[in-house]
C-alpha cells in the first residue's frame, strides 16, 4: 500500500486565527521501506504524519492512503477504516493506557476493528511477546508498571492491530539505551516482514542506521526527499542551514575529506569508517593502529 500526498497545505484553526503549518507537500511513502522524517522542532513533522492516518484532514490537496482518498471534505465515518491500515504510535504513548489489565488494553484496538475476543487475545499475546513484555504481568493493571514496561504495552496496543503501515513519532524518547536498541530492532523486523514504517526522529545516528529514505522538513516545506545515502552526502553547510546535526561518523568522515582524504562512499558505521581510513594510510606504519580501531568499532557496534 502506497501513501501519496499531493499538493497538501495544512493550517491549524480557522478564519483569522488559522496558522499555516504545512505548505505544498508532494511526497510518496513507498511500500516496505523505512522512511524517516527529520527537521527542526516545530517544522511540522508530527502534523505531517497525522495526515497519514487521517487524524488531520488536509486544508488543501489530497492524501491517498491505499484505496482511500482523503480531502478536506471527507466525512469522519469514512476515516475509521484507514486507521486499521495505518497504525500510529505517538510520543510518550503510555499516556493512552486505560484498561484494567495489560491484556485488555492491548486487545482494545483489534476489537474495535472487528476481531472476536479470541482473535483479539491471540493478537495481543503475540504483540506483547514481540515487544518483550513479561508474560507474568498480563493481568496486572497497566498503571502499576514501570515507564519502560508501559511503553511496551502501548506499542503492543498498536502492533496488535497488525496494520500494514506503522508510523512512529519519536518512539525512543525517554527510553534507556537497551530499550532504544530493542525498539530499533523491532522497526527493522517490521520492515523485513514487508511492512511500511515511518519514523520521526531527532537522533541522526538512528536515522542513518535504519532509514531507507529520508524526508527533511523545514518550516512546513519539504527541503529534501531522497535515499539516505544521498542525503548524508550533502555538504555539512546544508545541514547547518536546516538546523540539523550530522551523525557522528559522517561528520568525522566529512572533516577528514576536508583534510584531503578520499572515500569511495558513505561510511555508515564505525568499522566501515575505520576500514576506509586504514586504506588511505601507509600500511606498514599503521597496521596495528588500524586493527585496534576496527576491533573497538565492532565491539562498540554489536
Contacting positions for ligand ATP (CB under 6 A):
12, 19, 21, 39, 41-47
Assess 237 for contact with another protein (CB under 8 A): no
Please state the closest distance from residue 184 (CB atom) to another protein, in A.
22
Partner in contact with 17, chosen from Mg ion, ligand ATP, another protein, none, beta carbon below 5 to 8 Å by kind: another protein
Closest C-alpha among 264, 298, 301 to residue 279: 264
Assess 46 for contact with Mg ion (CB under 5 A): yes
Q: Write down the catalytic residue from 170, 182, 221, 226.
A: 170
C-alpha cell at 125: 499475546
Secondary structure of residue 227 in the 3-state scheme: strand
Helices and strands counted in the chain (H then E): 12, 10
Please state the closest distance from residue 80 (CB atom) to another protein, in A.
6
Please confirm, yes or no, whether 170 is among the known catalytic residues. yes
Q: Tell me how far apart the alpha carbons of residues 173 and 269 are, in angstroms, rounded to a whole number.
A: 22
Residue 102: Cβ within 10 Å count? 27
C-alpha cell at 160: 496488535
Q: H or E segment at 21? A: strand 19-29
Partner in contact with 253, chosen from another protein, Mg ion, ligand ATP, none, beta carbon below 5 to 8 Å by kind: none
Q: Residues 122 to 181: which contact another protein by CB under 8 A? A: 143, 157-158, 161
Radius of gyration, alpha carbons of the chain? 22
Active site residues: 170
Q: Which residues bind another protein (CB under 8 A)?
A: 12-17, 50, 53, 55, 76-77, 80, 83-84, 87-88, 90, 93, 95-99, 108-109, 112-113, 143, 157-158, 161
Amino acid at each position: 500500500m502506497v501513501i501519496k500526498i499531493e499538493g497538501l497545505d495544512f493550517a491549524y484553526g480557522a478564519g483569522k486565527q488559522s496558522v499555516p503549518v504545512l505548505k505544498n507537500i508532494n511526497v510518496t511513502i513507498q511500500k516496505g521501506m523505512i522512511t524517516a522524517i527529520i527537521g527542526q522542532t516545530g517544522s511540522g513533522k508530527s502534523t505531517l504524519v497525522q495526515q497519514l492516518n487521517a487524524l488531520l484532514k488536509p486544508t488543501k490537496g489530497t492524501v491517498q492512503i491505499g484505496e482511500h482518498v482523503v480531502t478536506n471534505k471527507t466525512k469522519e465515518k469514512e476515516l475509521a477504516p484507514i486507521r486499521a491500515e495505518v497504525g500510529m504510535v505517538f510520543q510518550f504513548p503510555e499516556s493512552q493506557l486505560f484498561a484494567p489489565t495489560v491484556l485488555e488494553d492491548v486487545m482494545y484496538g483489534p476489537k474495535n476493528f472487528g476481531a472476536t475476543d479470541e482473535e483479539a487475545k491471540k493478537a495481543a499475546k503475540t504483540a506483547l511477546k514481540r515487544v518483550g513484555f513479561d508474560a507474568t504481568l498480563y493481568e496486572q493493571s497497566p498503571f502499576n508498571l514501570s515507564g519502560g514496561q508501559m511503553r511496551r504495552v502501548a506499542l503492543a496496543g498498536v502492533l496488535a492491530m497488525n496494520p500494514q503501515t506503522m508510523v512512529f513519532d519519536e518512539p525512543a524518547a525517554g527510553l534507556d539505551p537497551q530499550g532504544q536498541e530493542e525498539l530499533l530492532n523491532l522497526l527493522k523486523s517490521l520492515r523485513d516482514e514487508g511492512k511500511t514504517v515511518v519514523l520521526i526522529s531527532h537522533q541522526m545516528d538512528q536515522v542513518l542506521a535504519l532509514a531507507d529514505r529520508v524526508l527533511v522538513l523545514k518550516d512546513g516545506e519539504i527541503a529534501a526527499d531522497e535515499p539516505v545515502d544521498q542525503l548524508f552526502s550533502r555538504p555539512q553547510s546544508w545541514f547547518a542551514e536546516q538546523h540539523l546535526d550530522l551523525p557522528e561518523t559522517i561528520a568525522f568522515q566529512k572533516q577528514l575529506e576536508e583534510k584531503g582524504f578520499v572515500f569511495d562512499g558513505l561510511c555508515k558505521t564505525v568499522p566501515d569508517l575505520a576500514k576506509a581510513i586504514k586504506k588511505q594510510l601507509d600500511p606498514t606504519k599503521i597496521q596495528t593502529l588500524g586493527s585496534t580501531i576496527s576491533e573497538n568499532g565492532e565491539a562498540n557496534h554489536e
